[in-house]
Structure formats: structure tokens, C-alpha cells
Structure 1
Amino acid sequence: MLIEEDGRCKASSSAGQSPYKWQNIWHAGLPPKVKLFAWRSVWEGLPVMSRLVARGMQVDTIFPMYGEGEETTAHMILECRAASSIWRHYVLRLDTRQVDMGSFRGWCCLMQDKYKDSKWWDVFWSIAWGIWLKRNIWIFEKKERRESDILYKAMGLIGEYEEENLRENILNTNAAFHGQILGIGGVLRDDSGAAVVAYCSTKKGSFAVDVGEAIAMRASL
């Protein structure tokens, strides 16, 4: 059940909330550092000002870039004027301030039921990572990063990772026949030729050579 409140939709306390689907992070086609960032974000583990205060540090909780409210994970990634502009005007065309779930995790749980395409989440986490970098550059270097730079970096992360995986990993498979026994196996190698992981098994039956090789390839994937 959603309640209208000041032009925004807010989930009522009686509304059921789906558990977060962690495969949106761990199965994403993104570098490990971005996956770790995403995981920490959903767990409210990023060192934003409100979390630092909760851990006993004496810091100002106001968002350091624009001073427009308490810096929570949701405010930093979704709600501050720079972040909301990026979400609204580029790629995903997302109005992140339309729905208020009270936490970043709550927002992600709601959105995962609406956006089920894994590629959508790859783009989302890449842009969120860029916003986090923009925030950190402002805090530690006192520099403003342009929105176009964030989008360029985000799209580059996806392309780089997919290209790297295609380039570095080679799967070799084979099939061997002995009477009514088919032996199948596969070895995944990196770009240096070193084995990363191997698989082997047997199957009973009479198979044509091309069918046996197809079975080996399928089983090894």
C-alpha cells in the first residue's frame, strides 16, 4: 500500500517488502570493486556522515557537497540535487525522489520488482558508483566532477569488464569414447594458459562424435 505524502509515494508500514535479491549484485557484469560498493550500499555500510556519527565519530551529518540535508546512503546516491539530476536526465530516466522507502535498501527492494533486467541493474550500480566517486572527490580533493564524466565512466565499466572476461577466459572441451561409455571434460584457462577450473564426467550410451562433443561443451559451461 502506498500513501501520497507531499507529492511523493511513501510505503506504509503495513506494506510487505520483498527481500533483496543479491544476484542483482553478485551476478552483475561489473568489476569486483563495484559489486562490493553495491553490497555495502544495500547493507548501509558506506561511510556516509550519518553512519560515521552512529559509529561514535564527531562529524557534521549534513551532506558535505550541498548542505541540503543529512547525508544518508539514500540521500547521497538518490536524493541530493546532483544525483537526482543524473538519474533523471541520463540513460535510465529515473525519478529517484518519487518514491520514499525510508532507506536505500528499501528503495532497492521496491525497484527490483519493477526492473528485472540484469543489464538495468548493471547500469544502475555503475552510475551509483560514479556518484560515490563524485562525492569522494569533492570531500577529499575539493573538486567538482561533471555529470558527463560520471556517465562516461559508468558505461566504460560495463564495457571494460565484459571485454576483459571475453578476452581472458578460454574454455577447452573434449569427449572420448570407450564402448558404451562417453567421457567428457572441460578446462577453463586464463590468457596465460593456466587452468582456472576443470570439469570431467562420464555418461552411458552410444553417441555420435559430434553429439558427444556437444554434450561435453554443454556440461562444461
Structure 2
Amino acid sequence: MGLEENARVSCLIDRNSSTWNTTLVRAVFEEEEANLICRTPLSMTNVPDKMVWRCTRNGEFSVRSAYHLMNEMVDMVRGQTSATTQNWTLWASIWKIRAPNAYKMLLWRASLESLPTTLNLFKRKVVDAPYCPVCLTEEETVNHALWSCRSAQVIWGSSSRKLQKFQTVETPFPELLFLMFNALDEETMQEVAATIYQIWRRRNKMIFEHKFASPTEVVMLAQQAVIDFQEANRGRSGEPTRQT
């Protein structure tokens, strides 16, 4: 089941009850996105959808406002040349890694700090508190969820020795990834990607399915995923082939 190209958010709402059409939402979106959508509060006023240009007070597009927006973006890039270059380098490294596309997408979203952590959801007023659903003691940033949470640190401490050396690093997640890509070989980065995927998957399973894998199980799943992917992509020459 899918939506038409020009479909709007209102297509996902039951007009009679002013609630989400959960059957349709879960048929169109993946489980994680569907759960987040269904938890988003809806307005009871039934205001119709409309397109709004955020750069003008009346919400209507104008060439002048677009010109000013373009200049602001150019100035921003000029003022953040070093950071922008690092970001592009990081993103290029993520998409070049030999790993499933789901892993790359997760790493990319994590590097943009755009994962639906409780802190990000709290900022959007989707949830009532920003605390980590695993440890319940700190705000769940991307870095906390995937790296610094005590639960995640146990997993990283059980991973390969090359990764254990990074346990003392305390830095925002995009910078951590950047450091790893510059210090670790490709196979270890495959392990990093698989481990991050399994940590995030375990977190979601705990929230939505009330299941919580042990650190040993997470490490084994990540390491086996790397082996399985390498075997599945091994070319006739015996070397792993690049994804197309």
C-alpha cells in the first residue's frame, strides 16, 4: 500500500475521529517511523494543510526572500569552512564504507544528530521527558544513545581491542565518527557500523517490544553481521566486492 505523489499529512488522519489512521500509517511506513507518527499529537481544530514559506511573515514565497536566504547560506558556509569540510569528509566516508545501506543511513542520520532520540522528540514536544529510556538518568542525545550510555559502553568494552581504545573519548558523535574513520581500518569500521546498528536496534526493541538483548548478544550479532556481509559480497577473486 502506498500514497499518491501529491499526498498530504491529512491523508493519514481519520477525519471522523481526528486521530491517526494507524492501519494506513503502519502499511506505508517502517515500524520505527510509524510508531513515532502515531505518538505525535494531533490538532483538534481540523485546520486544513497548506504550504508555508518560512522566510516571509505572511508565509508566501517571494524572490527577494529567496535571495536573502541564499546569501545567508553562503555566509554561513564561509564562516564555517573547516566544519563544513569535515562534515563532507565524514559523509563521504560513511557512504564509501562496505556495509548494508541500512547501516550507512543510520550512521548518516546519527552524524546529523537527527535520530529520534528522546531529547530530540522532547524538543519537538512529542514526548514528555528527554531522559534515556535505557538508563533513565541522562538526557538521550545521539552520542548518549550510541556511545556514552553505560549500557552502550559495556558493549563497546566487549568489542575488538581497537574499539576499546576509543572508550575514553568524550566528544560529540559526529566528531567521534570522524576520528574513527581517520584512525581505524575498513574492517574495523564495518564492525563500528554493525555495532551502532545493533545498539540502536536493541534500544528500539526495548521501547516498542519490551525486549532487551544482553551486551554479549549485541556484540555477537554485530560481528556475525560483518562476517555475513563479507561472505555475501565476496567476488570471484576472493576479495569483497563494492556495493552498487
Under TM normalisation by the shorter chain, which class is it? 0.5 to 0.7
Partner of 1:127: 195
CA distance in 1 between partners of 2:160 and 2:219 (Å): 8
Q: TM-score, normalised by structure 2?
A: 0.56
1:54 aligns to 2:127 (yes or no): no
The counterpart of 1:65, out of the listed 113, 134, 138, is 134
Partner of 2:97: 28
CA distance in 2 between partners of 1:125 and 1:139 (Å): 22
**How far 1:162 sits from its partner (Å)?**
2.1
The counterpart of 1:141, out of the listed 191, 209, 214, is 209
SS in 2 for 1:22: helix
Letter in 2 for 1:162: Q
Q: TM-score, normalised by structure 1?
A: 0.62
Q: Which has the larger Rg?
A: 1
CA distance in 2 between partners of 1:114 and 1:72 (Å): 24
SS in 2 for 1:99: coil
Partner of 2:44: none
Percent of aligned positions that are identical: 25
- Cα RMSD for the two superposed structures: 2.4
Structure 1 unmatched ranges of 5 or more: 1-15, 172-195, 197-221
Q: For 1:64-103, what aligned pairs fall within 5 Å after superposition? A: 64-92=133-161, 93-94=163-164, 96=166, 98-101=168-171, 103=172
1:151 aligns to 2:181 (yes or no): no
Letter in 2 for 1:70: E
Task: Show CA shifts across 1:122-178 (max 9, x none).
Answer: 1111111111111111111122211122112112222222222237xx79xxxxxxx
SS in 1 for 2:86: coil
**How far 1:96 sits from its partner (Å)?**
4.9
Task: Show CA shifts across 1:30-54 (max 9, x none).
Answer: 1111111111111111110111122
Letter in 2 for 1:99: V
Contact 1:84–1:96 (CA<8 Å) still a contact in 2? no
SS in 2 for 1:144: coil
Q: Which has the higher contact order (CA 8 A, sep 6+)?
A: 1
**Which protein has the bigger helix share?**
2
- How many aligned positions are there? 153
Partner of 1:44: 113
Letter in 2 for 1:139: I
Change (3 A) 1:89 1:157: closer
Contact 1:126–1:154 (CA<8 Å) still a contact in 2? yes
Contact 1:25–1:35 (CA<8 Å) still a contact in 2? yes
**Which protein has the bigger strand share?**
1
